[in-house]
């Protein structure tokens, strides 16, 4: 390789190779932007698993606080991270399969309200669990589910 480069430099051909070198660098950068959609898919999958674990635990007459607390930690972590899951490079376009509606990017204020509503309900789980009152926890879980649904109804294409 160094022999090839050396001979290219010595013969003044390196300048011709430069666009090719930059094209080689640009491809991974574009791929990184496209990969933001799978990143949010993974994030929502983890969130869904944590919320399911929370709801499953609440079916027991005496759920283990450690399970509830661990689920709430994961849900709150997702609520904090979701703000970074919709970079402009991950909007729908030919070749990028995503259930995210274009309104997320064309009406960012409205979308932000939905994200904030989810965040607020995620935060509210913590005092609900701390109360130790099952009915309070179940109501908080229902409110969180409603926030999920509110956002899906507006900003997610039907997956079926």
Where does this chain bind ligand ASC (CB under 6 A)? 48, 51-52, 145, 148-149
Q: Quick one: 143 exposed, middle or buried, by C-beta within 10 A (0-12, 13-18, 19+)? A: middle
Task: Summarize the chain as % helix, strand, coil (round to 5).
Answer: 80, 0, 20
By C-beta, is 108 or 145 nearer to ligand ASC? 145
CB of residue 121 to ligand ASC, shortest distance in Å = 11
CA angle 113, 68, 132 (to 5 degrees): 95
CB of residue 125 to ligand ASC, shortest distance in Å = 13
CB of residue 149 to ligand ASC, shortest distance in Å = 3
By C-beta, is 51 or 85 nearer to ligand ASC? 51
CB of residue 134 to ligand ASC, shortest distance in Å = 18
The residue at minimum Cβ distance from ligand ASC is 149
Instruction: Map 80-125 to HEC letters.
Output: HHHHHCCCHHHCCECCECCCECCHHHHCHHHHHHHHHHHHHHHHHH
By C-beta, is 14 or 77 nearer to ligand ASC? 77
By C-beta, is 51 or 111 nearer to ligand ASC? 51
């Amino acid at each position: 390789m160094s022999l090839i480069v050396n001979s290219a430099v010595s013969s003044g051909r390196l300048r011709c190779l430069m666009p090719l070198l930059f094209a080689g660098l640009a491809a991974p950068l574009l791929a990184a932007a496209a990969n933001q959609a799978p990143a949010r898919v993974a994030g929502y999958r983890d969130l869904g698993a944590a919320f399911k674990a929370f709801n499953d635990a609440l079916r027991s007459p005496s759920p283990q606080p450690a399970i509830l607390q661990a689920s709430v930690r994961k849900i709150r972590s997702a609520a904090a991270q979701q703000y970074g899951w919709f970079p402009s490079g991950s909007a729908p376009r030919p070749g990028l399969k995503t259930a995210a509606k274009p309104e997320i990017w064309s009406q960012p204020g409205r979308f932000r309200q939905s994200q904030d509503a989810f965040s607020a309900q995620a935060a509210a789980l913590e005092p609900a669990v701390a109360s130790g009152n099952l009915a309070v926890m179940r109501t908080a879980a229902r409110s969180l589910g409603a926030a999920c649904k509110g956002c899906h109804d507006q900003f997610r294409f039907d997956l079926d």
